[in-house]
Copies of this chain bind each other. A is one copy, B any other.
Amino acid sequence: MNLLKQKILKDGCVFGDDIIKVDSFLNHQIDVTLYNEIGKAFKERFSQYDITKILTIEASGIGLAAITAQYFNNIPVVFAKKTESLNLDSDIYSSEVFSFTKNKSYKIMVSKKYINPNDKLLIIDDFLANGKAILGMKEIIDQANATLVGAGIVIEKGFQEGGSILRSMGIQVESLASIKSIKDGIITFNN
């Protein structure tokens, strides 16, 4: 997705050889026009499927998923929650995710009411690096005996193992920008 890659090159900030910050448009400040283009691009990549729901994870995935759902006939979005809220249903699917960014494990959960065995789910997330968040969401979909159609990712760190792991499991992973490497402040894309 050219617009996205141009935006990454123009507004992304690189730290060392593996950290890229895109919080001016993707995950702290939101460029709503770009989000809509991202939603359209996900629809193109997954147009052949009869998707019933979008699954994402709080927090950065929520806005992306909500905007993207508009291009899938306003199907419901479900976002996995990260912490145990007193108001959350006790009847939940859950899994454990390790975050390298935050250097800790956390539990994610989805109320059993919102995924059923007939659901065909598209996972949407902002980043794919080691793949732990996607695997955690897949585990929840498996617990519900529902179907994972694929994963739509905005930025894949192609130099980390997440993409390979997920694709080797047969999951259709569609990244709108896949970063091959970051060297001396220069970002190179795979596609």
Is A154 an interface position by the 8 A CB rule?
no
CB distance from A47 to the nearest CB of B (A): 18
Give the contacts of A78-124 with B (CB-CB under 8 A): 78-79, 81-83, 85-89, 101-103, 110-111, 113-114
Instruction: Indicate if the CB atoms of B114 and A29 lie closer than 8 Å.
Output: yes
User: Given the complex of chains A and B, what is the CA–CA distance between A28 and B66 in angstroms?
Assistant: 12
Of the four ranges (under 10, 10 to 19, 20 to 34, 35 or more), the interface on chain A belongs to: 35 or more
**Interface class of chain A by DSSP:** mixed
Neighbouring B residues of A65 by C-beta, 8 Å: 30, 63
User: Given the complex of chains A and B, what is the CA–CA distance between A86 and B101 in angstroms?
Assistant: 6
User: Given the complex of chains A and B, what is the CA–CA distance between A21 and B87 in angstroms?
Assistant: 7
Give the contacts of A12-67 with B (CB-CB under 8 A): 19, 21, 23-24, 28-33, 35-36, 58-60, 62-63, 65-67
Measured CB to CB, the nearest residue on chain B to A25 is B76
Tell me the number of copies of this protein: 2
CB distance from A32 to the nearest CB of B (A): 4
Measured CB to CB, the nearest residue on chain B to A63 is B66
Instruction: Indicate if the CB atoms of A78 and B29 lie closer than 8 Å.
Output: yes
Instruction: Indicate if the CB atoms of A85 and B62 lie closer than 8 Å.
Output: no
Neighbouring B residues of A74 by C-beta, 8 Å: 32-33, 36
Is A165 an interface position by the 8 A CB rule?
no
Asked, given contacts A30-B79, A111-B28, whether A87 binds B101 with beta carbons under 8 Å apart, the answer is: yes
Question: Which of B28, B32, B66, B67 is A79 in contact with, Cβ under 8 Å?
Answer: B28
Neighbouring B residues of A1 by C-beta, 8 Å: none
User: Given the complex of chains A and B, what is the CA–CA distance between A87 and B14 in angstroms?
Assistant: 11
The residues of A with any CB-CB pair to B shorter than 8 Å are: 19, 21, 23-24, 28-33, 35-36, 58-60, 62-63, 65-67, 69-70, 74-79, 81-83, 85-89, 101-103, 110-111, 113-114
